[in-house]
Structure 1
């Protein structure tokens, strides 16, 4: 056999093993693929579930424990679904993890779709189509104190990823509780959060058009309860939408843990109930930069009751500085509200409030800035009934309607009433001395060109005109009680000593009525004097040294009808800054029977004008803090009077005194005969500072009238000073 035949016969034997080996490798590779597929299908999910659970424990340094009941993944669909997820704080967690909050999360289902696996391998921003969490219950204990600024969220992503971009995120049917098991600080019954185009990266953080990395945010909540110092905050329902630029709150309640008190408390107590609150035109992205910017804030049917604290709290812009350094709202509207304030002597209550504000800028720059009032450019206010205590507990102030416009400087009150809360005798008994028991009814009070900023910030009254229309004033006094030991403040110089500025260019009083009643110790029947159709004007009513001086004093004139008989006219001139209270008063009275004065002089003086007819009276007086001096010209005829006893009767002795007074002292006619000169009367009376300036005016008139009638000057002075 040759060598060639040997080689040819050996070649097929070598090729066959090689083919068998290739087939084996092919089958092995196919088996590995099948095994890999089987592993992915049957073993990846359990492995991944256990890996996630271990990773959470490791990442939290043993603080948290994750449990996933079921995990399904799909590489083909790039999705994962987890069910029965539970995250809770492990018992006996290491002390060095105390900076992490104590929490428990139970999640029914979590679905993730469209994960960019290739981007994960390339360490790029990972796109995700959607993340949906359903039926979550979260219990969060008290949050630990933070120390210094934390790293941004995007820098703490796993695997060192630079970011995530999620098309849609939804948290549905979320319930949350904040606080310990024994004491809840906050409770959320149900909430749904939807987020679109979430870019969790450095670029997303730098994008000023986003809110919390998101392009759009929609939040709906039901039944939220939160505990804050001394109060509970309750929200029945709420909606926030960055797309429609609005935040809506229905049935907002703030309930104090202790009831509203009439006395001031260490901390303010607030009881607030708002039916609807709306924030419209909200620039949601600005919230991430600490600015609340919106077109309008609307509060409907609000009710507020508050007890003021003993120490005034910081202004609102300081309270909000840590959360919202800037609040910019184009318009504010409050409708159908009511406010009641306790802890102050006034104790005001206002109902049916309608308030609008323009260009609200709640920051430190506008707190006391010119052109702003309570942080707004302008306020317009309209109210219904309003009540307040005045000189509590003796008087009640009420008003049926109030209008105010800070832009135009207008203030209008309708049907103002000042009513005593007790009788004249009880009022004097409670105060321990005689005091005026005053009742006021004023249909209209109008103020024009009012400086609201000066009024509300400094308590100063600066205006062009103050107008009082149709007022009725009733005063009663009881002379059975001691005289007030304090000096009266109803005097011109008291205005100059006021601790605040008063400057009203003109005060107008139209068609007022005044009724003065005084019960003297001698008679239970009070003496009454009335003035009807009282109309007057005061000019330069000011205690501003730049406006008030002897060269530029207060001037005024007034007219009225005395006892429905005589028309009176008076002219006043006074330097309100003169410490001696110097002022002048001129006036006149038209024809009237002297019997018109009997309703006052009979019960209080025991004198009755039996006859007498005044033709005309004119007077001039100079007054100060010591006395009144002046002259009276009284033209009258047939003057006769009766002196009465304590029962206002003419006894035998009083008949004799009457005859002597009429025959010796009194001048029957002035002038005595036609053609003779008129006998003037000297006005002189001492000032008692415990009485008002109006008492001094009356003393001067009595002194001059008695002296004109023939009563000697010393006796006329003494009689005018007697009370």
Structure 2
């Protein structure tokens, strides 16, 4: 056999073992892959579940304990699903973990999909398509004693990752409870949160267009209960959407733990019920910078009852800890009602319709020019409103109110002032005689009113104040002592007011006045009426820039006395004169003297049997000391009759009547046609406990008596008698 044949026959023998070895390696590699796949499928999930449980305990330094019932991963789909998650605060946790809150979490399911595994290996920002948590219950027993490290959330990610970019995040059917097992401080029965394009990184934190790292956020809440200082807050439903830029709230209720009362408390007590609230055009990203900026705030169907605190801080101070600045383009309130306790007025207002523009709630606009209650302008319309006046003696009410701060307009309709008790009970409660006043005013209009001066300093500054169709009834009971204090119904009292009054013109149209007085001598009250009273006052002011002797208050008025005589009066007064000096001029047209009997018979025991006034004219100067002046009274056929306490002429009174008519009284003035008219001297001492209107009456009485022939000293004494 040759050598060549030997070599050729040996070659196949060496090639076959190599092929068998290659197949063995291939099968071995394939077996390893299969084993790896089997390990991933059957052992990765349990290992990862245990690793997560251990990591939570380690990261929290033993504070928390995590339990996962089921975990499924899919490397092909880059997803993971976790079910039956329980997170508990471990009993006896180390003291250095007190910065972590005490909580309990039960999560039904958590699905994570589209995880960028390559970015994890490269330590880059990891993209994640979606994270969805469903059916979660959270109980937070108490907040941590400290705020923790204060590091931003993105700097505490696992594996040292620089960030996460989540396309979609959702928390569905979440129930939250804050507080102990037996006493909840806050509770949310149902909540849903959705966020899109959430960039949890340094770049996301620096992006001012994002809200909580997210480009879009939507929150839905249902059945929320929270304990606030002194109050319990309840919310039926609430929705927030950064995409539509709105917050919708329904069924908001704030209940004080102690009821609203008339006595002030250290902190405010607020009872609030709002059926529908809407915050539109909200710039949600600005909330992270402590600014609430929105286009409009709408409140519908609100009801508010509040007891004011002993010391009421401005609203911007109360909100400074939460929102240092609030900017809202417009505010609208409709169908609201407000009741305020803790003030002497105790107002209650129904059917409020309020709009405001340019609301800027901050310390800078609290008292800044151009702002009123933090807004550029307010308009207000209300239904019926009530308030106490000189409580508990009077009640003030009006059927409608309109106000426009930009135009300076204020209008009230059907204003009523009514006593809460009878004239005798009012005098008995006060311990002295007092006016029992009832007012019915169909219209009150104010033009060019300075609302800022009124609401901030209590000053009344306006161009015109107009009262239309007023009906005023006053009653007094002379059986009680006279008020020991000086009357404030006098011109100089206006100058001593602690606030500024400056009204360019006061107009009174078609008023009616009925005055009733019961004297000690008779149970029958004396009555006097003035109809069709119309008047104008100019420069009604206690501002030294406008009021002086050279620029006094001036005014004129007309009316019909006892439906018989038309009267006219002209007034001139320096309201800053400490002596209250002023002048009154006036006249009365023809009237029978018997028109005065309804007043003088029961109060003075005098009846005019006859007498006809042709015309009366007078000029009077008055002050804090006396009234003096001159009266020109033209009359004829004057006859008096003196009466007893039963308002009947007794025997002695008949004699006195004959003497008075025969000796003292002048029957006619002038006595004969063509003779000179006898003037009457008006002189009467001022009693400061009585109003200036009593002094006017005293002067008229003294002048009329002196014109009728009563000697001046006696006329003065009779005019001054109570």
TM class by shorter chain equals: over 0.9
**In structure 1, C-alpha distance between the alignment counterparts of 2:275 and 2:520, rounded to whole Å:** 59
1:225 and 2:225 equivalent? yes
Render the CA deviation track for 1:237-285: whole Å, top value 9, x for unaligned: 1111111111100111001111111211222111111110001111112
**In structure 1, C-alpha distance between the alignment counterparts of 2:511 and 2:10, rounded to whole Å:** 142
**Shift, 1:3, TM fit:** 9.9
**In structure 2, C-alpha distance between the alignment counterparts of 1:180 and 1:174, rounded to whole Å:** 19
**In structure 2, C-alpha distance between the alignment counterparts of 1:641 and 1:29, rounded to whole Å:** 141
**In structure 2, C-alpha distance between the alignment counterparts of 1:540 and 1:57, rounded to whole Å:** 82
1:57 and 2:57 equivalent? yes
Over 3 Å counting, the alpha-carbon distance change for 1:512 and 1:148 in structure 2 is farther
In the alignment, which residue of structure 2 is the partner of 1:164?
A: 164
In the alignment, which residue of structure 2 is the partner of 1:711?
A: 710
**In structure 2, C-alpha distance between the alignment counterparts of 1:675 and 1:145, rounded to whole Å:** 105
1:203 and 2:203 equivalent? yes
Which is further off, 142-151 or 458-467? 142-151
In the alignment, which residue of structure 1 is the partner of 2:557?
A: 558
In the alignment, which residue of structure 2 is the partner of 1:274?
A: 274
**Shift, 1:19, TM fit:** 4.2
Render the CA deviation track for 1:419-448: whole Å, top value 9, x for unaligned: 000000000000000000000000000000
* TM-score under structure 1 length normalisation: 0.98
In the alignment, which residue of structure 1 is the partner of 2:90?
A: 90
Once the two structures are superposed, the pairs formed by residues 130-209 of structure 1 within 5 Å of their partners are: 130-147=130-147, 150-209=150-209
In the alignment, which residue of structure 2 is the partner of 1:363?
A: 362
- Secondary structure, counterpart of 1:166 in structure 2: strand
**In structure 2, C-alpha distance between the alignment counterparts of 1:342 and 1:558, rounded to whole Å:** 40
**In structure 1, C-alpha distance between the alignment counterparts of 2:242 and 2:425, rounded to whole Å:** 63
**In structure 1, C-alpha distance between the alignment counterparts of 2:154 and 2:447, rounded to whole Å:** 60
Unpaired segments of 5 or more residues in structure 1?
none
In the alignment, which residue of structure 1 is the partner of 2:642?
A: 643
In the alignment, which residue of structure 2 is the partner of 1:129?
A: 129
**In structure 2, C-alpha distance between the alignment counterparts of 1:227 and 1:367, rounded to whole Å:** 29
Once the two structures are superposed, the pairs formed by residues 97-136 of structure 1 within 5 Å of their partners are: 97-136=97-136
**In structure 1, C-alpha distance between the alignment counterparts of 2:274 and 2:528, rounded to whole Å:** 52
In the alignment, which residue of structure 2 is the partner of 1:698?
A: 697
- Secondary structure, counterpart of 2:535 in structure 1: strand
Once the two structures are superposed, the pairs formed by residues 374-523 of structure 1 within 5 Å of their partners are: 374-523=373-522
- Secondary structure, counterpart of 1:136 in structure 2: strand
**Shift, 1:22, TM fit:** 3.3
**In structure 2, C-alpha distance between the alignment counterparts of 1:413 and 1:16, rounded to whole Å:** 115
Render the CA deviation track for 1:471-529: whole Å, top value 9, x for unaligned: 00000000000000011000000000000000000000000000000000000000001
- Secondary structure, counterpart of 2:489 in structure 1: coil
Render the CA deviation track for 1:658-688: whole Å, top value 9, x for unaligned: 1111111101111111111110011111100
In the alignment, which residue of structure 2 is the partner of 1:627?
A: 626
**Shift, 1:7, TM fit:** 8.6
In the alignment, which residue of structure 1 is the partner of 2:573?
A: 574
Over 3 Å counting, the alpha-carbon distance change for 1:147 and 1:193 in structure 2 is closer
- Secondary structure, counterpart of 1:557 in structure 2: strand
Which is further off, 583-592 or 254-263? 254-263
1:599 and 2:598 equivalent? yes
- Secondary structure, counterpart of 2:139 in structure 1: strand
- Secondary structure, counterpart of 1:374 in structure 2: coil
- Native 8 Å contact 2:613 2:635 kept in 1: yes
**In structure 2, C-alpha distance between the alignment counterparts of 1:502 and 1:132, rounded to whole Å:** 67
**In structure 2, C-alpha distance between the alignment counterparts of 1:147 and 1:229, rounded to whole Å:** 21
Which is further off, 286-295 or 74-83? 286-295
Over 3 Å counting, the alpha-carbon distance change for 1:385 and 1:161 in structure 2 is same
**In structure 1, C-alpha distance between the alignment counterparts of 2:678 and 2:469, rounded to whole Å:** 39
- Native 8 Å contact 2:276 2:300 kept in 1: yes
- Native 8 Å contact 2:581 2:624 kept in 1: yes
* TM-score under structure 2 length normalisation: 0.98
**Shift, 1:20, TM fit:** 4.0
**Shift, 1:27, TM fit:** 2.3
- Native 8 Å contact 2:87 2:106 kept in 1: yes
- Secondary structure, counterpart of 1:570 in structure 2: strand
1:688 and 2:682 equivalent? no
1:289 and 2:289 equivalent? yes
RMSD: 1.5
**Shift, 1:351, TM fit:** 0.2
**Shift, 1:563, TM fit:** 0.4
**Shift, 1:25, TM fit:** 2.5
**In structure 1, C-alpha distance between the alignment counterparts of 2:106 and 2:338, rounded to whole Å:** 44
- Native 8 Å contact 2:99 2:148 kept in 1: no
**Shift, 1:545, TM fit:** 0.4
In the alignment, which residue of structure 2 is the partner of 1:584?
A: 583
**In structure 2, C-alpha distance between the alignment counterparts of 1:266 and 1:645, rounded to whole Å:** 62
- Native 8 Å contact 2:194 2:218 kept in 1: yes
Render the CA deviation track for 1:165-198: whole Å, top value 9, x for unaligned: 1111111000000111121010001011111111
In the alignment, which residue of structure 1 is the partner of 2:326?
A: 327
